[in-house]
Copies of this chain bind each other. A is one copy, B any other.
Amino acid sequence: MRKTSVTSYDVAKAAGVSQSAVSRAFSPGASIAEKTRQRVLDAARELGYQPNAIARSMSTARQEPSQKSGMVGIVVTRLEDPFFAHAIANFSRHLQARGWHMLLFTVDSSAEVDEALNSLMQYRIDGVIILSAILSDHMAQVCRAQGTPVMLYNRDTKGLEVSAVGIANHEGGRLAADILLEAGHERIAFVGGDAGDETSREREAGFVQRLAEAGLTPFQRESGDYTFVSGREAGLRLFARHGRPDAVFCASDVMALGILHAARFDLGLRVPLDFSLIGFDDIPAAAWPGHQLTTIRQPIRRMIREAVSILAEAMEAPGEPPHTRLFPGTLILRDTVRGMGTASLSPDGQ
């Protein structure tokens, strides 16, 4: 009655060889005569046989220090955010190119990461990448005990025994302050995430530090949740009263675009005439002709290549200590900072 799928035994019978031979025919580098291999492959094609990855994974559990599934877990928040969508798209291509599959888990906050990890680890993933969230100390130890390497993307390790790839947030914040200071601004506001958001805090810290060196303190501070709408609302609050800022550093492009649209279209302000604006990330929409947002670019492609490569190494050499790599952000001068326009440092506008 069962819709029996074709197994290596069926192929073996059809090809007139043992089941072991079938297995070897599908294992690169296994010792098998080319003639036998061809015979098996032909029979397999005939029957529509595909090796069962689940069963293979079971078998390898016997030899390997830990069971290999061929799957890498990905834990992500806010997949709809263009920054993350791009990251996932890139991760996916790199991982696939190296022969891994992606088991995706979306969470609403860092609080759910441990649970997600637990769920993912039941599938004996070979490694896991966590985007913009952090796991608990306990969970990090569990992963370590299981031999599952962890890669934090866009987040600091905080001393955990895990790998990480990220952007130099503190320096990025300084860079933003640099350019605003150089443009002669003195009433500089900051817009970031909430108090619990580490990335935003680091960017703010660098920003505030650089301001302090120039004898200034932030003129105003607003926060949002990294959506366009929350940026727009922050923008409205920023300019609601008298004594407005003459410049704004926003820790995320998505929110910066919210501020830009609020300023221009809700309030009728001119940017950069009425105030300068600088974002962070360099998402595609930052380069749109109507935006031309000056921002700090994250070298996403390189970062992701590096993250995958570090993780790959860790998955191959279980014992090795974790690696962390921080990339510097680069200033992309476009048209939203007074007196420092147009001369884009990037040739493309993508």
Contact = CB atoms under 8 A, between A and B. Distances in A.
Interface of A: 1-3, 5, 48, 50-55, 57-58, 64-67, 69, 71, 74, 78-82, 84-86, 88-89, 92-93, 96, 101-106, 118-124, 142, 145-147, 228-229, 232, 257, 260-262, 264-266, 284-285, 288-290, 318, 349-350
A344 to B, nearest CB: 14
Given A52-B122, A69-B54, A119-B101, A288 B106 contact: no
Number of copies: 2
Contacts of A350: 229
A102 to B, nearest CB: 5
Contact of A54 (B123, B145, B147, B261): B123
Contacts of A142: 48
Nearest to A348: B229
Contact of A229 (B64, B65, B349): B349
Nearest 8 pairs of A and B residues by beta carbon: A85-B85, A265-B289, A79-B89, A53-B122, A92-B106, A261-B289, A80-B89, A102-B104
Most buried by B among A5, A55, A71, A261: A5
Given A228-B288, A261-B290, A290-B290, A3 B58 contact: no
B262 A289 contact: yes
B79 A82 contact: no
A122 B74 CA distance: 20
B123 A104 contact: no
A336 B271 CA distance: 23
A5 B67 contact: yes
Given A54-B57, A123-B54, A232 B289 contact: yes
Contacts of A261: 288-290
Contacts of A1: 65
Nearest to A78: B89
A266 B78 CA distance: 33
A92 B79 contact: yes
Given A228-B284, A285-B285, A101 B103 contact: yes
A66 B54 CA distance: 13
A264 B284 contact: no
Contacts of A53: 122-124
Contact of A85 (B80, B121, B349): B80
Given A92-B106, A106-B96, A285-B285, A121 B50 contact: yes
Contacts of A104: 74, 92, 101-104
B264 A290 contact: yes
A2 B92 contact: no
A55 B124 CA distance: 10
Contacts of A50: 118, 121-122
23 contacts: A3-B147, A48-B142, A50-B118, A50-B121, A51-B122, A52-B67, A53-B123, A53-B124, A54-B69, A54-B124, A58-B58, A78-B89, A92-B104, A92-B106, A93-B106, A101-B123, A102-B103, A103-B103, A103-B104, A229-B349, A257-B288, A264-B290, A265-B289
A289 B236 CA distance: 13
Nearest to A88: B79
